[in-house]
Structures are given as structure tokens and as C-alpha cells.
Amino acid sequence: MPVRGSCHCGNVQIELPEWPAWVADCNCSLCRRTAWRTAYYPPETVRITGETKAYIWGDRMIGIHHCPTCGCGTHWDTLGEDFGKMGVNARLLDGFDEAAIEVRKFDNRG
């Protein structure tokens, strides 16, 4: 059963094939500021509609998207190289409950 979500203003709509089994809590210089809880999916299984703006930094391998209206981080995707996955901010999913899902700490401090 598909899982849906949206940014705060509703401009960006997300549809995923199912709930993630776990989400990542990463401490890199960006995630520690934005507090994403990232779920990973093959890009072809994710549907995202609505305008987003990409933030590109560091090694320029991924674009980190947010809603330009309300500012919510929505997803990241590759800028070229095929990773076979993309990241979706699970905080935007309807009914997301951090206490009810496995949270894996990623140590990417630097």
C-alpha cells in the first residue's frame, strides 16, 4: 500500500511504495542542521510532484531538494552517477512516528 507525504505547504507531494523498514539519522554538517530522517528507495519507485529547489554542495554528487515555499527538505537524488537509490525525508510522510521506527545513526561528522 502506497505511503504518502507532503511538505508543510502541500506544494510537494511524495508517494512511496511502502513504509521504510528504518530511517537514517545522520550527523553530517548538513543533516545535523536540517534533522532529516532519511529513507532510501530505488528512484523508480518514488513519485514526487511539485516544484523543488536543489541545494548542491561538497562533492556535487547529489542535489538536496527542498520546497521553495515552506522550506521543508523533501528528498535527495543523484546528479549523474547511478546510486540505485535516492533519499526521501521520512519526516514528511503522513503519520511518521520516530518512536515507532528503527532509527540508524550514521556517523558522517566532518
> Residues in the site for Zn ion, rule: CB under 5 A?
7, 9, 11, 67, 69-70
Closer residue to Zn ion, CB minimum distance, 13 or 78: 13
Considering the complex, state which of residue 67 and residue 93 has its C-beta at the smaller distance from Zn ion: 67
Q: How far is the CB of 77 from Zn ion (least distance, A)?
A: 18
Which CB sits closer to Zn ion, 47 or 109?
Answer: 47
Q: How far is the CB of 22 from Zn ion (least distance, A)?
A: 26
Looking from the CA of 57 toward its CB, the CA atoms found within 13 Å total: 8
3-state secondary structure 21-88: CEEEEECCCCHHHHCCCEEEECHHHCEEECCCEEECCCCCCEEEEECCCCCCEEEEEECCCCCCCEEE
> Please, what is the minimum distance in Å from the beta carbon of residue 29 to Zn ion?
24
